[in-house]
Structure 1
Amino acid sequence: MFSGVSGLINRGQKLKGTVVLMRKNVLDVNKAAGVTSDVTSGDVIRGLGGIIGGGIDVVTTVAGTTIDNLTSFLGRNVGLQLISATATDASGKGKVGKETFLEGIILSLPTLGAGQSAFDIHFEWDSNFGIPEAFYIRNYMQVEFFLVSLTLEDVPNQGTIRFVCNSWVNNFKSYEKDRIFFVNKTYLPSETPAALVKYREEELKTLRGNGKGERKEWERIYDYDVYNDLGKPDSGEKYARPILGGSSTHPYPRRVRTGRRPTRKDPNSESPGDSYIPRDENFGHLKSSDFLIYTLKSLSQAVLPALQSVIFGEFGSFDEVRGLQEGGIKLPTDVLSAISPLPALKEIFRTDGEQVLKFPPPHVINVSKSAWMTDEEFAREMIAGVNPCVIRLLQEFPVQSKLDATIYGDQTSKITKEQLEINLEGQTVEEALSFQRLFILDYNDAFIPYLRKINEFAKAYATRTILFLKDDGTLKPIAIELSLPHPNGDQFGSESKVILPATEGAESTIWLLAKAHVIVNDSCYHQLMSHWLNTHAVIEPFVIATNRNLSVLHPIYKLLYPHYRDTININGLARQSLINADGIIEQSFLPGPYSLEISSAVYKNWVFTDQALPADLIKRGLAIKDPSSPHGLQLLIKDYPYATDGLEIWDAINTWVREYVSLYYPTDEAIRKDAELQAWWKEAVEKGHADLKDKPWWPKLQNVEELIQSASIIIWTASALHAAVNFGQYPYGGYILNRPTISRRLIPEQGTPEYDELVKSPQTAYLRTITPKYQTIVDLSVIEILSRHASDEVYLGENNDPNWTSDSKALQAFKKFGKKLVEIEEKITARNSDPNLRNRTGPVHLPYTLLLPTSKEGLTFRGIPNSISI
């Protein structure tokens, strides 16, 4: 394949090119090599050794010597061959030019990113070769490098031709076929130059692999598998977990296949270990999300086990809980020694000379230390907190269950009319229903099937909360139902108690405890379903299907690719450290070993089309169609921050997708005839979401509207929805009193020592009910990392490569999208300053900023990244 093409030699004409590589240590945090300091274009020479990986010393202190050493080393070790898009060989494929090698380093390119270095290259060329729109590259070294781009200058009749690569290139013997890269143009399959068609097809075939064998770290293969690597059955039955996916009992979205060996005790389970990540999914970034990702890994593997031996027991008071941020916890020297070698953890664990572990102050108590306890804030966080997408309109009374009555008995709510009407401000239940003033946060059906098992190691209820919409636009909780499985068996239904609001005496403490049980339900549902399942897990199949079926030349690949950045990477880490058996989630959230199993039960009722925000709001009864209203919807809760801001972001995404898609698909027939597009959708549905593939609600992708709808849902889910449910975790949950994750005690009954304690010390009763000290440290450590933005984050309306497409109309539409997001940000900021919109800030005086599109680095409580990158 790397033989020259006759007729190109000795013509004397050269095409000048520039090849940009990036230092390995900038990119690969987990395997850093070379120098570790930041490198700018002014001192790029000092870091060039990192381009070619670890263990090879080609850098000296003398700049001239450095260049000579590096140039001679790379010399004939990186070879490129151009491929013609207009001239073919005897087989009908584009002609392949003579192999050409990198030359000297270029020192005067100020536009290079940090850690990048540019090299000259000159290709032999003549007019018979035609227009080069692809190239092969061979790496003859034993170490990989990261190829950023190739730019050809002054190509006759073409001018500049760009190839955006952003890919690791390993030793050529690692690949069955030589690495190929395509020009930065956009071609539908039917419009691809004939000379490139087979190259396009071959590259996709390479990315699909053959579905066999264990994946190697340098491979770029995308394939599907079930979640069969969460458990560790070889470590004992306690660590065995059911396989999620591949059955009607435990349906689940698919993950990237790794092909590791099976466990000894369960041949259907895969041995745990480092997850295979297709190499270009794990390329890393400067000071990047990799920093946060590997901080999580270090946290779970090194730090938390050390902390467990010294942090245990109860918090003694609310002041002690606040002390986590205000004073910190003193740590023994041996625990500090587990943290100090890990630079990534120094930002999270603020240790100092006094050996103190200290967390940053969570936003929810920045202004008031007690406003979180109010009923108004409790209710407000259901529409402006970290989990604002579960509350729904109450449309029937009494509240019904959808659980199978033959298994779980009668789960109809025990809340009575008389109990509700105490707090309906003079209205009857019938009137409040007809005026659409009653709402519900209902976790009964999600938790009842697992509650008997959970209560073997915890003490929890399945909860229902009824809320009343007041004239001032705020919500008021008016009843909480706490249910337990019937002691005589599930088939007898549940035993329930109804708690009503109270402001004095023991009743007020019982009401506060009831709200805590609701929040524990909500925290767990949020983390496992709203966050993990409904964003991370459901998007991964689309990432896999896109890479397997849509060429980098395809317009829809270019549209969706930015919204997949780092998702497979963070999901792989989650399976190792967060959602695995005895992992961080199981340690610090109520369902423990049943955590992921519960999310599987919820996935049974997941509907792709309902993930569109307008459809979601209508389904929950929180909006009705109204063509005369903005966004075509009328909200029943006018001041619903998540919905109000979200609808503007949704519309901007949908408009951008519509304008982009219309550039390439003028008719429905064009959609149906696009072979790559049809293969992509068929595989995403039938393999990626195989357990739900027969559901009638899947779009058939037979017309332009279905493509616009589907792409908009994918982008919304990966960007705005994830931002809404992720980056508020620490701002709200960093104060564990506000968002406990575990409940350990039921509501005390009169005549018991626990009740006497409740009367004597409400704080003690509350603290002994919720998350204890060690689990709090685990929870706060993780959600602080998850709530942070990396310094190199790319936000909605941005693209980290200005040359992501050569299509000027697409670039123009994208620029328009960015301007719209700027306008939305200004409108959101204005709404947060409107005193008439009480739900925007609430009693805690915390403005709703989670859907502001932009952000700086760090713990900002705002910003919509393009993708699920943490």
Structure 2
Amino acid sequence: MADYEVTVYTGKLRFAGTLDMVFIKLVGNDGESKRKRLASLVGDLSFTNGAVSTFTVSCPVSIGKLELIELEKKSRLTGDNWFLDKVEVKSPEGDTYNFPIYCWITDSKVHRFREGEDTPEKVSLHELKQREKDYCWRKHIEGIPHCMEAEKLSDLPLEVQFSIIKNAEFIYTAFTGLAELKLTGFANSKENWTCIDDIKRVFTGKRTDLSDYVQEHWNEDAFFGYQFLNGVNPILIRRCSALPDNFPVTDDMVFPSGQFSLADEMEKGNIFLCDYKPLDGVKANIIDEKQQYLMAPLILLHKTPDDKLMPVAIQLKQTPAEDNPIFLPTDSEYDWLTAKIFVRSADFNEHQVNAHLLRTHLLAEVFAVSLLRNVPRTHPLYKLLVPHTRYTLQINFLARARLISETGSFTQFAASGGEGMVTLLKRSLSSVTYTSLCIPEDITERGLEDVPNFYYRDDGLKLWDIIHRFVQGVLGFYYKNNDAVKEDDDLQKWIGDIFEHGFLSQEGTGIPQSFTTVKELVKFVTMVIFTCSAQHSAVNAGQYDYGGWMPNTPIALQLPPPKTKGTTSEATMLQTLPDMGTTANGMAVMWLLSKPSFDFVALGKSLEKHHSEEIPSYYVKAFQGELQTLSAHIKIRNKSLKIPYTYLDPENIENSVAI
């Protein structure tokens, strides 16, 4: 008699367990077992949520090397769904076979799962046909990346929905955000702020060390410049070697003492430009029946000898004109401060729509849908990327329903909400290139290799290299040569769908339409993991830190910018800022979007269950070790910084776009 020890791991998702009867058949290269019901002393409790249960399946003789298992769930009455993590089988010869499953079994059909060490070409046609039905593409808005077809939340397959903990916590935070921030009484107020001290008195709810720092330093030029490097939108600034024709700045304007010249400083690499051209002409929102204002500014910054990045000129509209003055640090206090406020408001809207929504959330959904639709579970690409799809489809569904819908918070309270957002999304997609998504190339292209105090760059490049080594090791184990990549239909379908549905078949993006080499594949998968984890953390986690103090990040502005200098005052600045209700609702959304979940999974964690083979398991451990080392180095560095940069500390990076 040959006894096989079968261990079944039921998942920990909400409603993952089942009270149904479960049957198994083992299939080897020398025979197969009889169909056997899995039952133990605990009976129906063997497959409850999170249960790990072991059974014995006996055969008259050994059935040889195990190739697959057949699972069948039979309902007693109404039946219930079952989320199965994996099955392990130990043979009489002492071999252990792993069957990674990580999916819902919702019917009474026979489901076949191959052993975890399968090579890429061994696919389950039944599985992929079902996935094509479960994960369909949809054009949510013409001209932007496509999303998953789902009219209601229950249309999402259970395997991609929130856990019980995540769901309860998200609902609680979403509905109690104003109360948590002690802003309930302000939510519907249309009154303007009458002095900065009033805003300070409101800002007493949830605070962070950095939000307190922002409140104290928001109006300082050095902090204004710092945010272009290490705030929530570090992807816009670039080195300036020649002034744009529509930004007629002169030496006398920016260096009145004659200590420097623009030509010399540009040649030395000390001049930087931020250009919000995509915002030009975007229709600004109407909030509470009041027209809002959204500019498309140009900002010139100078790296000083003491390595500070200081703003030296701000033009708030793209076209030079008499009524579009270039504001300077030498102007009156409120002229200059008001100009900076318009820049910070423009930055909020550009950041939310381009850097955050488009470049992380929407692209992560494209990567996820294409993976879940085209790639079987035993495929090495699936094992690598499925941890980085966790919760993305549900969080994006909720964003479309509650943030950017007609009645959503962003639509109601942001200057670019509604029609403006659609315009900006379409324009922004044209700037999303393969180069801009790969941080080593993006930093080089923007000329920022040697800018001091650029912690997003420093930590991001190290993370990219760590992820790249991990991906190279794992994929190199499966793909020994370029032909193996070219001949893998699953890979080609995956990238083909991404090119078509994510980048709308635009060749100018530089996104590959197919893979021909292992090197190309490794680079692209590195970009996907970086985007879904590190990049999202960089542009998301600090939203409340930098935006909780509203004057630093106004989500909308109520007055147009001054047409001439010398006409602003503290009173006009306060009238320009969003009213109390807009402020309160904006703070609540930023609090929700930057609050980590209780079931947060950090980058590199929980990967072991997807990689059972010896060599990939080695690379998982090496990956985790490198991330731990980087985290320690970042913590040591941050101890010496006035403003610690924590968003790319691996311990703080969620493995997926989950919030």
TM over 0.5: yes
- Return closer, same or farther for 1:149/1:431 CA change in 2, 3 Å cut-off: closer
- Residue number in structure 1 paired with 2:621: 815
Please state if 1:426 is matched with 2:259: yes
Cα distance between partner residues in 2 of 1:502 and 1:427? 16
In the superposition, the TM-score normalised over structure 2's length comes to 0.91
Structure 2 counterpart SS, 1:553: coil
**For the structure 1 residues 118 and 820, does the alpha-carbon distance in structure 2 shift closer, same or farther, using more than 3 Å as the test?**
closer
Does 1:223 pair with 2:166?
no
Q: Which residue of 2 aligns with 1:256?
A: 148
Aligned to 1:68: none
Task: Give the C-alpha shift of residue 204 in structure 1.
Answer: 1.1
SS in 1 for 2:425: helix
Letter paired with 1:477: P
The answer to which of 129-138 and 659-668 deviates more is: 129-138
Match of 1:189 among 120, 128, 137: 120
User: Are the equivalent residues in 2 in contact too, given 1:464–1:482 (CA < 8 A)?
Assistant: yes
Aligned match for 1:659, one of 473, 476, 485: 473
The CA deviation string for residues 410-453 of structure 1, in whole angstroms up to 9 with x for no partner, is xx224344323337x6221111111111101111x211131578
**Contact 1:699–1:706 under 8 Å retained in 2:** no
- Asked if residue 320 in structure 1 is aligned to residue 320 in structure 2, the reply is no
Confirm whether residue 868 of structure 1 aligns to residue 649 of structure 2.
no
Q: Which residue of 1 aligns with 2:580?
A: 773
* Letter paired with 2:256: I
Change (3 A) 1:308 1:85: farther
CA change 1:161–1:475 in 2 (3 A) is same
Deviation digits for residues 315-348 of structure 1, max 9, x if unmatched?
332222222332xxxxxxxxxxxxxxxxxxxxxx
Deviation (angstroms), 1:717: 0.4
1:15 is the counterpart of 2:14: no
Question: Aligned partners of 1:776 and 1:470: how far apart in 2?
Answer: 34
Which SS does the other structure have where 1:745 is aligned? coil
Number of the residue aligned with 2:382: 557
1:496 corresponds in structure 2 to 324
Q: One-letter code of the match for 2:255? A: E
1:167 paired with 2:103, answer: yes
- For the 8 Å contact 1:701–1:707, the answer to whether it is kept is yes
Alignment pair present for 1:438 and 2:374: no
Deviations 1:838-864 (A, max 9, x none): xxx4xxx3211111111xxxxxxxx11
Contact 1:163/1:182 (8 A) holds in 2 = yes
Which residue does 1:470 correspond to in 2? 304
1:184-220 Cα distance to aligned partner (Å, 9 max, x none): x232234x4xxxx5xx1221121112xxxxxxxxxxx
Does 2:642 align with 1:853? Answer: no
- Indicate the SS of the match to 1:82: strand
Work out whether residues 20 and 147 of structure 1, in 8 Å CA contact, stay in contact via their aligned partners in 2: no
Identify which of 511, 517, 526 aligns with 1:703.
517
Code of the residue aligned with 1:450 in structure 2: it is V
Give the Cα–Cα distance (whole angstroms) in 2 for the partners of residues 106 and 568 of structure 1. Answer: 35
Q: Secondary structure of 1:467's partner? A: strand
1:602 aligns with 2:428: yes
Q: Confirm or deny that 1:134 pairs with 2:69.
A: yes
After TM superposition, the structure 1 = structure 2 runs for residues 24-43 of structure 1, keeping only pairs within 5 Å, are 27=14
Specify the alignment match of 1:804 in structure 2: 610
User: Which residue of 1 is the match for residue 57 of structure 2?
Assistant: 123
1:431 to 1:657, Cα distance in 2 relative to 1, 3 A? same
Residue 697 to residue 17, structure 1, CA distance change in 2 (3 Å): closer
Q: Contact 1:147–1:166 at 8 Å: present in 2 too?
A: yes
Query: What amino acid is the match of 1:500?
Result: L
1:277 aligns with 2:156: yes
**Comparing 549-558 and 132-141, the one that deviates more:** 132-141
SS of 1:204's equivalent?
helix
CA contact (8 A) 1:484 1:495 kept: no
The separation in 1 between residues aligned to 2:447 and 2:360, in whole angstroms, is 22
Structure 2 partner of 1:448: 280
Aligned 8 A contact 2:186 2:584 in 1: no
**Counterpart residue number, 1:214:** none
RMSD: 3.2
Which amino acid in 2 is paired with 1:280?
Answer: E
User: How far apart, CA to CA, are the structure 2 residues paired with 1:153 and 1:751?
Assistant: 77
Whichever of the two has the greater Rg, that structure is: 1
Q: CA deviation at 1:595?
A: 1.4
State how far apart, in whole Å, the 2-side matches of 1:691 and 1:495 are. Answer: 42
Q: Is the contact between residue 253 and residue 691 of structure 1 (CA under 8 Å) also seen in structure 2?
A: no
Cα distance, 1:135–1:748 mapped onto 2, change above 3 Å: same
Partner SS for 2:316: strand
Q: Is the 8 A contact 2:6 2:90 kept in 1?
A: no
Q: 2:21 aligns with which of 48, 69, 78?
A: 78
Q: How does 1:43-442 map to 2 (within 5 A)?
A: 51-52=17-18, 74=19, 77-86=20-29, 97-105=34-42, 116-127=50-61, 129-130=63-64, 131=66, 133-140=68-75, 141-172=77-108, 178-183=110-115, 185-190=116-121, 192=122, 200-209=124-133, 221-227=134-140, 244-245=141-142, 251-258=143-150, 260=151, 273-274=152-153, 276-282=155-161, 284-285=162-163, 287-288=165-166, 290-295=167-172, 298=175, 310-326=188-204, 359-367=205-213, 369-397=215-243, 399-400=244-245, 412-422=246-256, 426-442=259-275
Q: Is the 8 A contact 2:253 2:328 kept in 1?
A: yes
Whether contact under 8 Å (2:189, 2:579) holds in the other structure is: no
Structure 1: how far apart are the matches of 2:461 and 2:27? 46
2:504 to 690, 697, 716: 690
Structure 1 residues 770-813: Cα deviation after superposition (integer angstroms, max 9, x where no partner): 222111221111111211212221111212x6332221111111
**Contact 1:275 1:576 survives alignment (8 Å):** no
Quick one: which amino acid aligns to residue 575 of structure 1? R
Superposed, which structure 2 residues align to 1:473-484 within 5 Å? 473-483=307-317
The aligned amino acid for 1:364 is L
Which SS does the other structure have where 1:462 is aligned? coil
CA–CA distance in 2 between the matches of 1:587 and 1:377?
29
Aligned residue in 1 for 2:350: 525
**Does the 8 Å contact 1:252/1:691 carry over to 2?**
no
Deviations 1:451-499 (A, max 9, x none): 578898212322111000111111010010011779xxxxxx9962211
Runs of at least 5 residues in structure 2 that lack an aligned partner in the other structure? none
Structure 2 residue matching 1:471: 3-state secondary structure: coil
Structure 2 residue 366 is matched with structure 1 residue 541: yes
1:686 and 1:365, CA in 2 relative to 1: closer, same or farther beyond 3 A? closer
Gaps of 5+ in 1: 1-11, 29-49, 53-73, 89-94, 210-220, 228-243, 246-250, 261-272, 327-358, 401-411, 487-492, 623-634, 835-840, 855-862
Q: Taking structure 1 as reference, are residues 392 and 367 closer, same or farther at Cα in structure 2, changes over 3 Å only?
A: closer
Alignment of 1:671-820 (within 5 A): 671-692=485-506, 695-698=509-512, 700-748=514-562, 755=567, 758-759=568-569, 762=570, 764-799=571-606, 802-820=608-626
**Aligned mates of 2:454, 2:549 — CA distance in 1:** 23
SS at match of 1:253: coil
Q: CA deviation at 1:105?
A: 2.5
Distance 1:296 1:137, change over 3 A: farther
TM-fit CA distance, 1:614: 0.8
Structure 1 residues 363 and 276, CA gap change in structure 2 (3 angstroms) = farther
C-alpha contact 1:686 1:693 (8 A) present in aligned 2: no
Give the superposition deviation at 1:529: 0.7
- Structure 1 length as normaliser, TM-score? 0.70
> Cα distance, 1:136 vs. partner?
2.1
What fraction of aligned residue pairs are identical, expressed as a percent? 23
Q: CA deviation at 1:742?
A: 0.8
Q: 2: CA distance between counterparts of 1:121 and 1:419?
A: 80
Deviation at 1:14, TM superposition (A): 5.0
C-alpha separation in 1, matches of 2:255 and 2:357: 38
Distance 1:453 1:740 in 2: 14
In 2, Cα distance between the equivalents of 1:719 and 1:498?
A: 39
User: Which SS does the other structure have where 1:148 is aligned?
Assistant: strand
In the alignment, the residues of structure 2 paired with residue 520 and residue 656 of structure 1 have an alpha-carbon distance, to the nearest angstrom, of: 39
Secondary structure of residue in 2 paired with 1:824: helix
- Establish whether residue 638 from structure 1 lines up as the match of residue 452 from structure 2: yes
The 1:803–1:590 alpha-carbon spacing in structure 2 relative to 1, beyond 3 Å, is: same
Amino acid at match of 2:229: I
